[in-house]
């Protein structure tokens, strides 16, 4: 699956931070419009890279969707998306950390999130292993029009989100009569070396592993 969003709609708390489309509206009408972003929108692709049967297949697909949605949650300009995200996470997965904008005006490039393993846990829960391949990579444009590589911990990341098939309330207080998947923990791995992560993810690494900004769709400002 490919998730293609407006360049102003998707930013990563783990990799980029929040995203800002523009500053607050001026008190008087502006005589110039914000120029169109001169690069293609960021695309995050998802795939289940190993054979799975239900319910683990459903768990993996939901965890992949949430791994993309999690990259929206720190963007204060996307309140609707943030509310939707909180309706699909458990209260213990919620965070009261402030969401802050960043100094960038746009984002391009792409990544692949691949589910490479899944295991059943007690009480209808499951743990999914997701490799995050930043290919062709994430790139951000500064206000002066310069395109740079986004701040990142590296081109390959590893998450092990836990999800549960349940009808318990979500973080926003919403309930469901029928069970549905709920995210218990996004599972961003912090205690593994790059070599250990490579041992898990390299067998599923896309080839060629491109690390290059996309070509502009129009002339960059400047």
**Other residues' Cβ atoms within 10 Å of the Cβ of residue 132:** 26
Longest dimension (CA), the chain: 60
pLDDT of 101: 73
pLDDT of 182: 98
Angstrom CA distances, 128 to 90, 206, 218, stand at 16, 19, 40
- Rounded Cα gap, residues 189 and 116, in angstroms: 15
Angstrom CA distances, 3 to 66, 123, 138, 141, stand at 12, 31, 14, 20
On whether the CB atoms of residues 128 and 186 are closer than 8 A, the answer is: no
On whether the CB atoms of residues 204 and 49 are closer than 8 A, the answer is: yes
DSSP-assigned letter for residue 36 = P
- Rounded Cα gap, residues 63 and 59, in angstroms: 6
User: How is the chain split among helix, strand and coil, in percent rounded to 5?
Assistant: 20, 25, 55
Q: What is the pLDDT of residues 202-220, one digit of tens each?
A: 999 999 999 999 999 987 6
Confidence of residue 13 (pLDDT cuts 50, 70, 90): very low
Alpha helix stretches (DSSP H) within the chain = 56-69, 79-86, 194-201
**Mean pLDDT of the chain, nearest integer:** 84
- How far is the first Cα of the chain from the last one, in angstroms, to the nearest whole number? 35
Q: What is the pLDDT of residues 101-133, one digit of tens each?
A: 777 888 899 999 999 999 999 999 999 999 999
Output the pTM of the full model. 0.81
Peptide bond into 7 cis (omega under 30): no
């Amino acid at each position: 699956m490919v998730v293609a969003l407006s360049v102003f709609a998707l930013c990563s708390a783990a990799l980029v931070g929040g995203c800002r489309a523009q500053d607050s509206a001026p008190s008087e009408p502006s005589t110039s419009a914000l120029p169109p972003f001169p690069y293609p929108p960021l695309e995050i692709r998802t795939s289940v890279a190993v054979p799975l049967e239900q319910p683990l297949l459903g768990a993996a697909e939901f965890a992949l969707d949430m791994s993309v949605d999690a990259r929206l949650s720190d963007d204060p300009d996307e309140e609707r998306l943030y509310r939707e995200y909180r309706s699909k996470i458990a209260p213990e997965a919620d965070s009261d950390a402030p969401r802050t904008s960043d100094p960038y005006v746009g984002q391009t490039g792409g990544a692949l999130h691949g589910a490479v393993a899944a295991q059943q846990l007690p009480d209808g829960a499951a743990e999914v292993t997701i490799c995050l391949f930043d290919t062709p990579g994430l790139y951000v444009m500064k206000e002066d029009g310069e395109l740079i590589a986004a701040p990142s911990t590296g081109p390959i990341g590893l998450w092990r989100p836990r999800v549960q098939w349940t009808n318990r309330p979500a973080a926003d207080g919403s309930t469901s009569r029928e069970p549905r998947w709920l995210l218990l923990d996004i599972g961003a791995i912090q205690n593994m070396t790059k070599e250990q992560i490579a041992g898990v993810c390299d067998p599923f690494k896309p080839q060629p592993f491109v690390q290059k900004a996309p070509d502009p769709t129009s002339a960059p400002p400047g």
